[in-house]
Chains A and B, each alone.
Chain A
Amino acid sequence: KQEVTQIPAALSVPEGENLVLNCSFTDSAIYNLQWFRQDPGKGLTSLLLIQSSQREQTSGRLNASLDKSSGRSTLYIAASQPGDSATYLCAVVNDYKLSFGAGTTVTVRA
């Protein structure tokens, strides 16, 4: 059974600081890994998708890396802004379903 862990559970940083969010998973037989953003009480917004054959993916201030052999992914958010405050979830895809971590709740202080 796939287990996904996200550390830390919560993070508070001043505006402008870079964010580093970690995700680990136990079964490396994945199709891809996705990072999502969730605002309080809302649905999920896809941020980045990394195919299992890729090492990293970038979109604007966001960069995600994937090391399948060690079962780890890291999401970097450069120059954080108060609007980046949200919960960030990573999910791995195997057997066509998503297995999620519990998320990292980020607060960016103005």
Chain B
Amino acid sequence: DAGVTQSPTHLIKTRGQQVTLRCSPKSGHDTVSWYQQALGQGPQFIFQYYEEEERQRGNFPDRFSGHQFPNYSSELNVNALLLGDSALYLCASRLGRLAGIETQYFGPGTRLLVL
């Protein structure tokens, strides 16, 4: 079992550019969540996808958007990048029907640096 995988591992962009981050959930998991972790802080919830729909969204602007594919993998897109978007982006997966019972499994993250 490969666990949760994310790509790329590191990324450098300039202000105003757009970026796409990718996540493959743990085998058998159908729910994917994205988190942003700034340096020295805890992760902040961006949004969650289930059955290819955005089910919940945190306090992030519309510049942050996502998608879930039929195979449950997911993408996070960020438009018009700002310096403050520099962070570690974490993807987490779980089995939707076990929500609240089973732990979420996190990937290794994508480190985004915006210059």
Contacts and interface: CB of A to CB of B under 8 A. Distances in A.
Interface in B29-50: 33, 35, 40-45, 48
B42 A4 contact: yes
Interface stretch (B62-70, B73-81, B104-112): B104-112
Interface residues of A, number: 25
Interface stretch (A14-22, A61-69, A73-81, A92-100): A92-100
B90 A43 contact: yes
Contacts of B106: 36, 43-46
Contact of B55 (A96, A100, A101): A96
Given A41-B111, A44-B90, A98 B104 contact: yes
A1 B44 CA distance: 13
Nearest to A103: B42
Nearest to B90: A43
A43 B42 contact: no
A31 B45 contact: no
Contact of A46 (B56, B88, B103): B103
Interface in A41-65: 41-46, 49, 51
A101 to B, nearest CB: 5
A42 B6 CA distance: 12
A34 interface: yes
A89 B90 CA distance: 14
B30 to A, nearest CB: 13
A49 B108 CA distance: 20
A97 B100 contact: no
Nearest to A52: B100
Contact of B45 (A36, A49, A97, A101): A97
A43 B109 contact: yes
B12 interface: no
Nearest to A4: B42
Interface of A: 4, 31-32, 34, 36, 41-46, 49, 51, 89, 91, 93, 95-103
Interface of B: 4, 33, 35, 40-45, 48, 55-56, 58, 88, 90, 92, 99-109, 111
